[in-house]
Structures are given as C-alpha cells and as structure tokens.
Amino acid sequence: MTDGSAKVAAGRDALRLSSNAIPAWTDESRLADGLAGFLLAGLTAAFTFFVTRRIGTIPAPTATEGLLAHEALTNGLALTRPALDWTLWAFLNAFGDGVAQVRVYGILLALVTLVVTYLIGRKLHSRAAGLIGVACLMGDPNFFGSLRTLRPETGAVACAFLGFYLLLRAQATDRLGHKWLWALTSGWMSLAAGWFDHIGLLMFLCMLAWTLVQRGDLLGSLSWRIYLLGVSLWLVPYGGWVASHWSAYSQQSAQIAAVIYNRSSVGMWDNLAAEAQRYAAWSGGLLLIPTPDSLSARLFQCLALASLVYLSVRTIRTISHMVLHWQFVRELRKRFGGMPAPAELQELYASGEVKLPKVGTLESWMFERGGLLRRLSLIVQEIEKDTRPITHWLQALGAPSHPDWRIPRTGLLIVTITSLVGLALFDSHKVPAVLPFVTVWFALCIGVFVVDALRWAVDQRRRAVPRVLRGLAVGLLVVSLVTAALGSGARAVWRFHRWTRTFTPAPYADLATVLRQVVAPGATVVGNDIHRFAFPPGTHYVTPLGNDNFLDWAAGGAEPVVLITDDTPESQVLRDVAETRRWPLIAELSGTLYGTVRVYRLTMAEGSASSPARYYFMGSTNGYARRGYYSEQQRQEAALVWLAEPTELERLTRELPASEMRPPEVQRDGNQLVLRIVTDVSNYTTRLRLPLPPLKPHVMYRLQTAVRVTQGGAVVGVRDRTGLWLNEPVALGESQTYVPIDILFVTNERGDAELAIGNRRNQPAASAMYLGRVEVRQIGASP
C-alpha cells in the first residue's frame, strides 16, 4: 500500500470524535433513556415530597425572603436582578403572595438544577453517572437545607448549569440551525444566572476554561462565538439601561446586599483566606434539627476527593501516553531517517522490532479537535505531522487502546477546579446557598468515578484469579461507599421528615393575623423586611435602609404611621430609635417566632394613650414556635374544663389496655396524695398515655400539674391519638421537690388529646415519678 492510499484509508476510517458520549439513537438507547427518565422522575418526586414538608412554616420567614418577595411584586429588583424580579413576579401573581409560595418557587428552580445535573452527566459520560450525581446531590444536607428558604443563589445555580448544558448541546450538533439555537440560548441562560445573583457569572469562567481546553483559543469554535453573541445581545442594552440609572442601581444594590448578606465584600486575598469556613460549615445547613446528621456530608466529601484524585490520575496518564507516542514517533524517525511506510511498519510489527504505544488516550477529544495542549505543547506540534498517517494502522495492528476515549474527564476536572478557585477568590459571603456551584461538579465527578470503577471491576472477571479478586474488592468497596453515602443522606432526610411530624409548628400567618388586627388599614408601616409578609400588596412599607428619613413622618401627615420592632438583629436600628422616643405602644406580642414584637404609633401628640393590646404566643423551642396564641382577655377568662385527682387518674390507667409496665398506684408522698408511676426500660418512648376528656377542635388549652422524679429521667407532654406531639415535651430529672408543669397546647381538628409520660431521650433505664392532680383550662380559639 502506498503512502497516498494509507492516508486515504486513514482519513476514511479514522474515528470521528464528539463531546457527546451517548451512542446513536437506537431502540436500545431509547429504552435506556426511558428507564433513566423514570428513575430520575422518581428521585425528583421523592425529593420534592420531603423538601416541601411544612415548607411554609419551618424555618421562620427571613428578611431576605420578605425583601425579595415584596420588591419583586413592585419591580424593585428590575435593575440589579431582573431575571429574579420577572420570574418571581410572574409566579407570585399566578399563585399568590405568601411564605410557602416564595419557597416553592425556589424549590422549582432547584428541581431544574437536578434535571440539568443528570443531563450534563449523560452528555459527558453516561446515564448512570448522571443519576448517581443527582442522588448524591439530593442527599447533601446543605443542598436540602438551603432550599427551605428562598435565596437568589438558587436561581443563579439553575440558570448557570442550564447554560452549560445548552453549550454542550451546541458543540455536539452538526446542524447549523440547532447550533445557533442552543448556543444563543446558552448565552441568555448564562446572563440570566448573573441576573439572579452576581455570583452566577462565575459559570462564565467554567465555560471559558472548557472552551480553551477543547479548542485551544477564545474564538476557535462556532458554538463559542454564537454563545458570546447571545450574551452580548442582552448585555449591551442592559449595560446602557444601568448606566442611565446608575444612582438608582447603586442604591438598590446596596440595600439588597445589606439585607441578603449583612456584610460588605472584601478583597480576593481575604476571600481566599476565609474559604475554609465554607467547607467547615458544609454539614450544618440551615435547619436546627434536634439530631443533625453530618455523616452524609462527610461521605460526600470523601467521595468527591477520591473522584478528583481519580480524574487527576487519568489526566496525568493522558499526558504520559502523549509523551510515549511522541517518543515512539521520534524513535521511528531517528531509526529510518523519517517515517516508514505503512507496509514497512507492518513488517516491523510482525517481526517484533516495534513496540506499539497506547494511542486511544492520545486520540481523545482534547487533541482531536484542536485542544489547548496541542496548540501549546511543542511535543504535540512535533508529532502532529506524523501521527495522522499511522493512527489507522496502529489501531488495525492491535495497539492497546481505551474503549472510553470519548469521555472528556480532563475537561470535567478542569471546570471543577475552575469553579473551586473562582468561588474562593470572588465570593466574600460564604453562604450555604452558594455551595451548589461546586457540589454539582463534585456530584458529577463522583458519578464518573463510580461508573468507571465498577466498569473496571466487571472487566476483570475474565482475567486471572488475582485480577478477578482485585476487581471484586474494588467493586465491593465502591458499592459500599456509595451505598453508605446515599443511605446516610436518605436517613437524614427521613429523620427530618419524622421531626416535622412530632409537633404542630406555628405558621407565620398567626403573627400576620395579629399584626393586621392592631395596625389600621392604610397605615404606613415602618419595620424590617421580615414583616412585609404580614401585610397585603400595596401597603406602604418602609425600612430604615429604604428611606433614611422615615422618622420625619412622626411630625404629622394624613395617614397614620406605625413602627414594628422585634428581637432579631435586623430590628436593632428600630429598637434603638424606639428606646429614645416616647411613642405610644399599640400592641405587644410575646413569645412569637421573633421574640417579643412591639407595635408603636409614630406621633408626637401628647395625651393619654389607651392600654396596649397584649397577645401571648406559644413560645419557641429549638428556634421554632408552636401553633397558637391568645389575648389578655382570653387568658383572664380561661375556664376549668377538667380536673382529675390521683384516684381518678389511677382509675383511668386501669381502663387502658394491658401492658408490661408496672400499674400506677396511688400513694401518699408527704402530706399529699399522688400517683406513683414506674416506667420500664426504654429510650424516649411514651410508656403511659392518660386520655383527656373530649375537647373542642382548634382551641388552645392549658394543662397544669406537678411532678417529682425520684429515679432516672422523664418527659411529660400532650399528644393526640395519632402520636403527634401538641407541645414540646417537658424533660425532667431527679428532684427533691415537685416541679410545676404548665403546658399550652392546641387541639387538632378532632379535639382528641392525651397526657403522655415516658422516659427522657438517651435515658434507657427505667424511671420513677410522682404525679399530682391534673387541671385542664380552656384558653379559647385564636381571636
């Protein structure tokens, strides 16, 4: 065969590489896509069910949510965050203004991130890698916890990764119309990420790094040029709009940053020095779950580190194979004074004088398409002239190769490192909601690592016994780690689900109802951004950051002006002002989600003020208040509805189903008659449930008794018949005197309740106690 025919054969038979790792569209691939889509739908549905548990109640609304929701309704974010402003405005107008609606909007954006994570994993590696990445991301406690409140970074992450995926679609297609469509849309999504939050612009660095590795220059790809055009089409008019409204833009940006971040940006060196804080708080999340589970975060981090090491080793091997190939070509040229003809090369191979190098890694997407290493490396430039004619013959002669050379592992490693460095240098706030910018890449790296490891382990089954045992050990280790990570994440989510069912948390609607009762309609409200949720759209609501002269309204005006303070840090300025002015107190709300809330009427008129209205809420435990509140009048009018002496309590216990616990008995302790209760060995398990008489539904009651624990520890509380706690159980230890128990609880829709007694948490030994008489008083329904 002549040199010319060899080049023709090589050009005709050489593999055409693409960044798309998915094979041709066949019936088998359709079936695989259908199965993967079904699994993805199941995962996202389960995730949606758990993450939306009591989404409007836990945790309490934040100042960030109040600011974003109400500024979006008034187009107050149009200059700084137009994408967030327009989409949130449309969502709230379609589904209503409220805490739950605002948070569901953020969860929908997070679901986009999950779907796009699968699509990127499918495009870069395989369907299995994408599904594993999605599962790891859903089990990450930070990702789960940060979605419980709305943050602008959630939308930035969704748009940024959607833009990256669309760029991959544009690079993978050869149809010009589709290339324009995907690349333009990718540019728009990348700009939209910055219009949700400025940190979203960091994805541009990842796309730039990807393009440089793949093409070697900034403008070498048609897809990349179209992408830049798509960004410019919207960025240029937006820049002109901002320039013409620069004063309003600066004021709006400063106000939003002060509420969302509560701190100013610092330099890149300070950002880099504080980066450890981000990863130290990874497993903390935003939820104060009584028993937080950090194991899933630790396993996720270990797998991410292992996957990054694996991808680094693969990249180093790619470069080493390139060097071996160059040495092979140089040796041939040195030995024969130039490249031998294919026929001579075949004779040398048959005689054993030529040792063929591995060529599969060299013929990867990085080098085939004009990658950065080929343009910058003198080694690659040297062998480029001689590699093409012999590539076909090396493969035909049986040169070792890798079957998965289409997969751009090096590109995935580079964009992950770019994202890590970019966040470390440019993010000053280190909030948990920003972490998905890197954890999505970590999840994809884990998916690639796990699938590659399992494929390698399976490939060892037809080899020698030591290789089979090695493959089996690696496979079992990887499966064990992944199972532990996913199982730990699922366990943490399930624990959170059970925790939300152990009590009836206070909705913000309770507090909002009282505030609307004490504030006259049409009044101008001065307060922090949290309480924007309490008032309907259209209410004139002012914060100190929004108007520095809000106190001037106290001098007069046609409309009444009120000021609302609470115990949160956001109200510090308002509390300081209220302490120096003698404003009449309109209402005082004790025990709310935000401590004591006070409402003042801003007026300088002298005169006797009426007594302020006083409301009492259930109070809070672990940062979350119970449902229910009552007024001062209801407290004074509380009526006794049930009283049970120890003898009556003993009679009730005899009517209960038989149990292994020692029957309670009436005894005399000092000068009073009490019921002695001895529990068996258990751990935070209710051992005795004394049914209360039928009560009215949705009414607050007050249960009073006295308890003395003589051995171990106990908990006393009120539950409904389904086992749901109606109050936070009171934990008791051993004492010499009787401890008064005063429990407030709100009945359910059936009005059933029971006094529950059990062992204290982490107290597995038996406990003994004396219980005095029990009184139940009706406080009343919520006014």
Q: Is there a domain that residue 343 lies in? A: no
Residue 354 confidence (pLDDT): 58
Burial-class residue 20 by CB neighbours within 10 Å (0-12, 13-18, 19+). Answer: middle
Q: Are residues 258 and 243 in the same domain?
A: yes
> Looking at the predicted structure, is the pLDDT value of residue 417 above 90?
yes
Q: Are residues 471 and 599 in the same domain?
A: no
Residue 500 Cα distances to 98, 184, 193, 623, angstroms: 20, 44, 33, 13
Q: Which residue has the tokens 């974010």?
A: 77
Q: Which of 30-44, 305-319, 368-382 has the lowest average pLDDT?
A: 368-382
Q: Are residues 746 and 604 in the same domain?
A: no
pLDDT confidence bin for 317, thresholds 50/70/90: confident
- 450-481 confidence digits (pLDDT tens): 988 888 888 777 777 777 888 888 888 888 88
Residue 767 Cα distances to 555, 653, 681, 693, 714, angstroms: 64, 17, 8, 27, 7
- Residues in CB range of 343: below 8 A, 6 or more apart: 1
Mean pLDDT, the chain, whole residue set: 79
Length of the chain as a residue count = 783
> Looking at the predicted structure, is the pLDDT value of residue 352 above 80?
no
Report the CATH number at residue 670: 2.60.120.260
Q: Are residues 574 and 721 in the same domain?
A: no
Q: Are residues 102 and 151 in the same domain?
A: yes
Neighbours of 369 (CB within 10 A): 17
Distance, CA of 208 to CA of 522 (rounded, Å)? 52
Distance, CA of 54 to CA of 149 (rounded, Å)? 12
Q: Are residues 190 and 119 in the same domain?
A: yes
Q: Which of 366-370, 502-506, 681-685, 750-754 has the lowest average pLDDT?
A: 366-370
Q: Is there a domain that residue 720 lies in? A: yes
Distance, CA of 279 to CA of 420 (rounded, Å)? 11
> Looking at the predicted structure, is the pLDDT value of residue 87 above 90?
yes
Nearest of 215, 449, 487 to residue 312 by alpha carbon = 449
Distance, CA of 277 to CA of 139 (rounded, Å)? 21
Q: Are residues 610 and 642 in the same domain?
A: no
pLDDT confidence bin for 587, thresholds 50/70/90: very high
Q: Which of 50-54, 229-233, 623-627 has the lowest average pLDDT?
A: 623-627
Q: Are residues 631 and 736 in the same domain?
A: no
Q: Which of 605, 635, 665 is the last residue of a domain?
A: 635
Burial-class residue 709 by CB neighbours within 10 Å (0-12, 13-18, 19+). Answer: buried
Distance, CA of 156 to CA of 426 (rounded, Å)? 15
Q: Is there a domain that residue 335 lies in? A: no
Q: Is there a domain that residue 8 lies in? A: no
Tell me the residue range of the domain where 128 lies.
37-285+435-499
Q: Which of 600, 635, 670 is the last residue of a domain?
A: 635
Average pLDDT over residues 145-155: 90
Q: Are residues 223 and 253 in the same domain?
A: yes
> Looking at the predicted structure, is the pLDDT value of residue 762 above 90?
no
Q: Are residues 569 and 586 in the same domain?
A: yes
Across 137-162, b (16+ Cβ under 10 Å) vs e yields bbbbbbbbbbbbbbbbbbbbbbbbbb
Q: Which of 635, 658, 679 is the last residue of a domain?
A: 635
Q: Are residues 539 and 644 in the same domain?
A: no
Bridge pairing between strands 561-565 and 524-526: parallel
Q: Are residues 184 and 99 in the same domain?
A: yes
Q: Is there a domain that residue 674 lies in? A: yes
Q: Is there a domain that residue 141 lies in? A: yes
- Residues in CB range of 353: below 8 A, 6 or more apart: none
Count of structural domains, the chain: 3
Q: Compute the Cα dihedral for 27, 32, 33, 34 and give only its sign.
A: positive
Nearest of 756, 648, 739, 743 to residue 703 by alpha carbon = 743
Distance, CA of 568 to CA of 590 (rounded, Å)? 14
Q: Is there a domain that residue 341 lies in? A: no
Q: Is there a domain that residue 489 lies in? A: yes
